[in-house]
Amino acid sequence: MMGFTAGTLLLFGATGDLAKRMLLPSLCALDADDLLGDDLRIIGTARSEMDDHGFRQLAREALEQYLPANRRGSMAHFLNRLTYQSLDATRQEGYDELARKVGKDHGGLAIFLSTAPSLFEPTIKGLQQAGLTDGDVRIGLEKPLGTDLASSQEINDAVASAFDESRIFRIDHYLGKETVQNLLALRFANLLFEPVWNAQYIDHVQITVAETVGLESRVAYYDDSGALRDMVQNHMLQLLALVAMEPPTSFDATAVRDEKVKVLRALREVAGGETVTGQYRSGAISGEAVAGYAEELGEESSTETFVAIKAHVDNWRWKGVPFYMRTGKRLPERVTEIVVQFRCIPHSIFEGRGATTKPNRLVIGIQPQENIQLSMMAKMPGLDREGIRLRSVPLDIAMPDAFSGTVRRIAYERLLLDLIEGDQTLFVRRDEVEAQWEWVDAIRALWQKNDLTPQGYSAGSWGPSSAIALAERDGVSWHE
């Protein structure tokens, strides 16, 4: 049940980095493709003092910088949708002015909250007292939603005091990426994979989210957060849940999210020796020297910029199959991928002819390139007088090639459109968030108990050597 389509979109944090890089370009691209209702109004709000004209000028500059010219359509048409209201989130009178700007005839209101977590509670309270939470109103929440289970529950309680769960849209932008959604199509629209998608045929799964960048503009946030909370708690656990979930009864919000949360609750508590943490030192990325984390930060820190985990899903389908996850900053390349490593064939008929076989491997590339690659064994051409020669051959599905003529969209385009139209399928439910935090909090408690501090690794490497050992002691090599 999707409910109403919003006639007004209210963007909090409308002058911030996310709005300029992602939200405004996504909305403009949707407008260019005639996917927004003709009467949809977009109201930006933030602390900055400016008028409608000033906000439109800010939006124009952001679009010229971040959105390709061929996706802008009639930029004037989009800019005319925009108005602005400055707001001090801690003062009630600001919300009363905002409510007047929105008006009672808003035609259904969708609110997108991209503010500091410390402002969530006063913002919800202000919206509630100004009457901006009643009736046809839904709210989208940008991460981070807390720093642990307790703070996450506090935020969720505050939001729940004004909105029921059916009107709360928690955003994980990875779920807006085409290849992530394609994982569901790959599994549940093809008879080929689902019968072998289990412990009998799959040896292990790898999930890698590697970044080449360092702190950039996120200094204060990242040092308080670290890789485990910034990447594993949300993006990586969502990817794991999509790989491991049982077939949902249908492709709707309740059915899909019911199956994801079952996986998250089945995660075994991580044991000592099943995690590695690291922090980058100075090194080189693409031949250029880069400073270490402490130098960028300006002081020593115990925050991890790299984490590798060996996880287990304790259920019938995945018993005994390890899920290796790693993420880090200042790694050699920017890549997000899922590797499903199948087991060896039970018996090779080719051994007597000198041929060796390799197990099949499915690689799902999410960024920078969206592609799916399946490695298959094939016979090399020849007369075979010296023996049969076999080689692993990749079958590639490059998404841009397979679907030429279709537009490559920003992940936020899908998520903003779903927020406006009321489809929760690609948003994260409260019980998912809390199951994720519960698992991650146990890892942090383990680190604290064992006095585990990050090991140094050179920028431009694949993390501490113990991360390689984490997999290799099981006879597994990271896919690189």
pLDDT per residue as tens digits for the range 271-309: 989 999 999 999 998 888 999 999 988 899 999 999 999
Provide the pLDDT for residue 180.
84
Q: Is the pLDDT reported for residue 216 higher than 90?
A: no
Residues annotated within the binding site are 13-20, 47, 143, 173, 177, 211, 230, 329
Residue type, 31: D
Average pLDDT score, the chain: 90
- pLDDT for the residue 445: 96
Domain boundaries, given as residue ranges, for the chain: 8-142, 175-404+430-473
First to last CA, the chain: 43
Predicted local distance difference test score (pLDDT) of residue 377: 77
CA atoms within 13 A on the CB side of 162: 24
- Residue 436 reports pLDDT greater than 70: yes
The annotation places the binding site for NADP(+) at: 13-20, 47, 143
Listed ranges 89-98, 328-337, 386-395; the one with the highest mean pLDDT:
328-337
DSSP 400-428: HHHTTTS----HHHHHHHHHHHT--TTSB
Residue 124: per-residue pLDDT: 94
pLDDT (mean) for 325-336 = 95
Q: Reply yes or no on whether 235 is catalytic.
A: yes
More confident residue, 348 or 149: 149
CATH architecture of 8-142: 3-Layer(aba) Sandwich (3.40)
pLDDT (average), residues 50-67: 94
Residue 79 confidence (pLDDT)? 95
Q: What percent of the chain has pLDDT over 90?
A: 70
Strands 390-398 and 288-290: unpaired
408, pLDDT greater than 80:
no
Residue bearing the bigger pLDDT, 85 or 382: 85
What count of other Cβ atoms lies within 10 Å of the Cβ of residue 22? 22
pTM listed for this prediction: 0.92
pLDDT of residue 60 exceeding 80, the answer is yes
On the question of a common fold for 8-142 and 175-404+430-473, the answer reads no
Pick out the residues of the known binding site for substrate.
173, 177, 211, 230, 329
Residue 402: per-residue pLDDT: 58
Q: Place 395 in a pLDDT band, splitting at 50, 70 and 90.
A: confident
For residue 111, pLDDT beyond 70 = yes
**What is the predicted pLDDT for the residue at 370?**
82
Q: In the predicted model, what is the mean pLDDT of residues 205-226?
A: 87
Q: Which residues of 117-128 are buried (b: 16+ CB within 10 A; e: fewer)?
A: bebbbbbbbbbb
> Whole-angstrom Cα distance, residue 111 to residue 23?
13
- From the list 106, 204, 235, 312, the catalytic residue is 235
Burial class of residue 208 in the structure, from the number of CB atoms within 10 Å of its CB (0-12 exposed, 13-18 middle, 19+ buried):
buried
pLDDT at 44: 96
- 8 Å CB contact between 459 and 283: yes
pLDDT in tens, 116-164: 878 888 999 999 999 999 999 999 998 878 899 999 999 999 999 999 9
pLDDT, position 420: 95
Residue 269: pLDDT band (50, 70, 90) is very high
Answer yes or no: are the C-beta atoms of 276 and 466 closer than 8 Å. yes
pLDDT in tens, 226-242: 999 999 999 999 999 99
Residue 376 has a pLDDT of 85
Tell me what pLDDT residue 327 has.
97
Long-range contacts of 259-263 (CB under 8 A, 24+ apart): 260/432, 261/429, 261/431, 261/432, 261/435, 262/315, 263/313, 263/315
Q: Which CATH number fits domain 175-404+430-473: 3.30.360.10, 3.40.50.460, 1.10.10.60, 3.30.1300.10?
A: 3.30.360.10
